[in-house]
Structure 1
Amino acid sequence: MAKPMTKTQLVAALAEEMGAEKKTAGAALDAVVAIITKEVSAGGAVTLPGIGKIYCRERPERMVRNPATGEQIKKEADKVVKMTIAKALKDSVNG
């Protein structure tokens, strides 16, 4: 498995693709991340065309097991961020 692309590498690739400076590409990436974070934190969802949908899902209160002791404990309800991958991306990876 290849190493994941770092933010610096992503900004450089984005700048090259846009034909812009790295500073502009970095600002654009930061703006997109901020918008996604704000929307998902508020309980909404964001669809990135060709990539997928990022959304927040609530998990109910449940019983979990402490792996060290085997003890059953109650875990409070919480929220978890999920992502559904777009069919176009799956097809490009598999085909």
Structure 2
Amino acid sequence: MIIIHARFQVNPAKEQAFLEEIRPLIEGSRAEDGNIAYDLMKDTEQAHAYTMVEVWKNADAVAFHNTSSHFTAFVGKASEFLTAPLDVNSYEASSLSK
């Protein structure tokens, strides 16, 4: 399992546009084979900061996602909305048995 945290620092004047543009990315990503979770979280301590929390079945699912039309369309526009470079961290993980 691959877990990705992508942190966005959004320009306050463009926050609503950011939220509108990211919606198709979320919907398309959730529909992909190999996606387990894809959720945008708003930081409660830092204004205009968001983290996309992604969980993927494996690296092949991530590779497919990174070439999808909804991903490439958003990435092509992302810099219009951000005040800092996108900060992405990726982790390999496994579920703990209960």
Q: What's the TM-score, normalizing by structure 2?
A: 0.26
Larger proportion of helix: 1
Task: Specify the structure having the higher radius of gyration (Cα).
Answer: 1
Greater RCO, CA 8 A, separation 6+: 2
Q: What's the TM-score, normalizing by structure 1?
A: 0.26
